[in-house]
């Protein structure tokens, strides 16, 4: 798996973290002061990178969490058909089928940017 471990205190808004085994981008990060018998706690709210669902967790700031390594790649649209498009990765020249997201008007030969994590891809 393409991920690494880090402490909760090292997370920042806008970076990625695994929440419920799903790669998420952090929307908000806040900490509470340590209590009488415990350590400081952090509350992290995020949104799934590929499914856009909101998720959150609360953990001590010294707890370890997984951070996904998401690649940002360049591609060229080879063809579009019925809500799907064939995209050629400009690095590996591999052809991938992706669905066209709402609001994206992709034409043949357009260059696009997409995110890739394991077998999941999303057009930016």
Give the pLDDT confidence score for residue 101 in this predicted structure.
Answer: 80
Tell me what pLDDT residue 106 has.
79
Four-CA torsion 83, 84, 89, 93, nearest 10 degrees: -140
Domains in the chain with CATH codes: 3-68 (2.30.30.30), 71-123 (2.40.50)
pLDDT at site 1? 58
pLDDT value at 33 more than 90: no
Greater pLDDT, 28 or 105: 28
CB 48 within 8 A of CB 22: yes
Which residues, listed in sequence order, are joined to residue 74 by a DSSP beta bridge? 113
The pTM assigned to this predicted structure is 0.81
Whole-number Å distance between alpha carbons of 9 and 5: 12
d(CA 29, CA 26): 7
26 strand-pairing partners: 46
SS3 102: coil
What pLDDT score does 104 carry? 78
Q: What does pLDDT average to over the chain?
A: 91
Residue 117 pLDDT > 70, yes or no?
Answer: yes
pLDDT band, very low/low/confident/very high, at 2 (cuts 50, 70, 90): confident
- What pLDDT was estimated at residue 66? 95
């Amino acid at each position: 798996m393409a991920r690494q471990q880090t402490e909760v205190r090292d997370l920042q808004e806008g970076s990625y973290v695994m929440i419920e085994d799903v790669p998420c981008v952090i929307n908000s990060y806040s900490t509470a002061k340590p209590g009488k018998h415990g350590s400081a706690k952090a509350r992290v709210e995020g949104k799934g990178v590929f499914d856009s669902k909101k998720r959150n967790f609360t953990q001590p700031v010294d707890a370890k969490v997984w951070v996904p390594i998401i690649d940002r790649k360049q591609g060229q649209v080879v063809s579009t058909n019925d809500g799907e498009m064939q995209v050629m990765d400009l690095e590996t020249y591999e052809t991938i089928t992706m669905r066209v997201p709402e609001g994206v008007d992709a034409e043949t030969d357009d260059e696009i940017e997409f995110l890739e994590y394991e077998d999941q891809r999303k057009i930016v």
